[in-house]
Amino acid sequence: MLVLSKPAIEQFSYTRNSRPASTLFTQIPLVDLSKPDSKHHIIKACEELGFFKVVNHGVPMESISLLESEATKFFGLPLCEKHETGQPEPYGYGNKRIGVQGDVGWVEYLLLTTNQDLNLHRFKTLRLALSNYMKSVKKMACEILETIADGLKIQPRNVLSKLLMDEESDSIFRVNHYPPCPHVQPANANGSNGDVIGFGEHTDPQIISVLRSNNTSGLQISLRDGTWISVPPDQNSFFINVGDSLQVMTNGRFKSVKHRVVTNSEKSRLSMIYFGGPPLSEKIAPLPSLMRDDQQSLYKEFTWFEYKKSAHNSRLADNRLIHFEKI
């Protein structure tokens, strides 16, 4: 259980200053990966929202359940035992603090590279569960990236997926645990309470993110007009986010999706996210085959290392791509 001292509680942000989450829009694009027309739906969703849900994903349910139960056991341990896995700078167990620039959220988490360099020797089953799960989810992410290449009519079809398959791929993984948050924020001028932020609004810097959660709500995505949409939880499906790097590689045709997590006063939320990233030395630039002769890149040239470094010096809600746009 996450115990917070009084001053710490005051550091948390609430959603009340932003436009309310809409209950009208409930249509999260749904893609059945087993259907031959899935590429059209994926391209449309990446262009319009930068976000979609997938079914028939091929990730074995046993590997999902094992990771969920092992992660739940881990987060139930006393704080000192969880800290044994290392501090989250950059990888390890983190509690409330996100990144190094002062962001906080009602969350505890494990953050690791996909090569698992954490001190998980005491947690053999968790380690095995992470490894199996990451393998399946990476495979699915690569299939989606290959379907995207098909949909965009670009060759070879592994032009994007090979970045995740590369031995040097800088992909990471995080398991987030949002304990129930009992704190009630006093009503604002409109008389409505705000939700406590579990993980503040941000876009993911990588190419693609694959998220799965238990059946507790909390995830919200932002529409282009700034309205927040609550994403109904679905423990049997995966949610895919377009990351900033894919936005650049498609020269802005796809948009990275701004998202956040709000807490629930009764139920814990557990989510697992694979962030597919390229090798550090990889140049992040529009794919030449996507550019017409007269087309200019919207972005300056940069490597993933440069973008990652800049991202890690930013606050969660910052627009990180703005520094890399051509004026």
Catalytic (active-site) positions: 269
Residue whose structure tokens are 């990476």: 138
Is 314 a binding residue for ligand GA4 by CB under 6 A? The answer is yes
Is 312 a binding residue for ligand GA4 by CB under 6 A? The answer is yes
Is 311 a binding residue for ligand GA4 by CB under 6 A? The answer is yes
Exactly one of 21, 64, 67, 98 binds ligand GA4 (CB under 6 A); that residue is: 98
Instruction: State both tokens at 65.
Output: 């359940």
- Element of type H or E holding 303: strand 302-303
- What mask, x for binding ligand GA4 by CB under 6 A, covers residues 101 to 140? x-x-------x-----------------------------
Task: State in angstroms the smallest separation of the CB of 316 from ligand GA4.
Answer: 4
Is 172 a binding residue for ligand GA4 by CB under 6 A? The answer is yes
Exactly one of 86, 92, 99, 233 binds ligand GA4 (CB under 6 A); that residue is: 99
- What mask, x for binding ligand GA4 by CB under 6 A, covers residues 197 to 216? -----x-xx-----------
Residue whose structure tokens are 């008389």: 191
* Binding residues with ligand GA4: total (CB under 6 A): 16
Is 260 a binding residue for ligand GA4 by CB under 6 A? The answer is no
Task: State in angstroms the smallest separation of the CB of 266 from ligand GA4.
Answer: 25
User: What are the CB-based long-range contacts (under 8 Å, 24+) for 158-164?
Assistant: 159/287, 159/289, 160/207, 160/246, 160/249, 163/207, 163/276, 163/277, 163/278, 163/279, 163/282, 164/138, 164/207, 164/208, 164/276, 164/277, 164/278
- First vs last Cα of the chain: how many Å apart? 48
Residue 91 three-state SS: coil
Residue whose structure tokens are 């995830």: 219
Stretch of 5-13, 32-40, 222-230, 307-315 lying at the interface with ligand GA4 (CB under 6 A): 307-315
Residue whose structure tokens are 């996909």: 114
Candidates 9, 6, 2; CA nearest to 82 is 2
- List of residues contacting ligand GA4 (CB under 6 A): 98-99, 101, 103, 111, 172, 174, 202, 204-205, 275, 311-312, 314-316
